[in-house]
Amino acid sequence: MSKPPRRQAGRRTALRECHRWGGRSGERGQSTTLDYTLALAVAAVVATVLFASAGDFVTDQRERVVRTELGVVGQQLADEVVAADRLARAGDDTETLVVNATMPQQVAGTSYTVTVAEGGGTHWLNLSSDRPEVSVTTQIRTETDVATGSLKGGSVDIVYDPAADRLEVRG
């Protein structure tokens, strides 16, 4: 009996040829330029998605900061109006009363508007900004009437008008 011939271990066929980066094979036609273009396209899509999601995150954080700061400013201004109310009621014949309240002109880099409104026998401070659009409402608990109106943020005077027996918030 004769033995079948042995295959040599180190031989490779043409179809199983090893490829180096950018090399060409007989099985497919692909160039380095196409690989580079596809890699750039995928990188551009990934970068666009990352920037878009990061931009939304920053916008949401800014809105939260503006809302928080408007709430703090609204509460401080409401406290100043309540203090002016107490002072006006403390003196029976108060003729002149002006309370100066220094509020920031901007919150988180944006200007804001203060509106004194009345609803259901209660007075409210509505603080709102344009960029981003945020609005915060704070209740004012006074026994003295408060005039309605609107003003820009910044230094505020709370003036008692004895003839009308009411407080006015002026800018």
72: its two tokens: 């703090």
Which tens digit of pLDDT belongs to each residue from 3-62? 666 655 555 554 455 555 555 555 565 678 888 888 899 999 998 888 887 777 777 888
In this prediction, residue 55 carries a pLDDT of 72
C-beta separation of 156 from 114 below 8 A: yes
122 pLDDT higher than 60: yes
How confident is the model at residue 91, as a pLDDT?
75
Q: What is the pLDDT of residue 142?
A: 92
Share of the chain above pLDDT 90, in %: 51
What's the CA gap between 160 and 171, in Å, rounded?
14
Mean pLDDT within 149-164: 92
pLDDT of residue 15: 47
pTM: 0.67
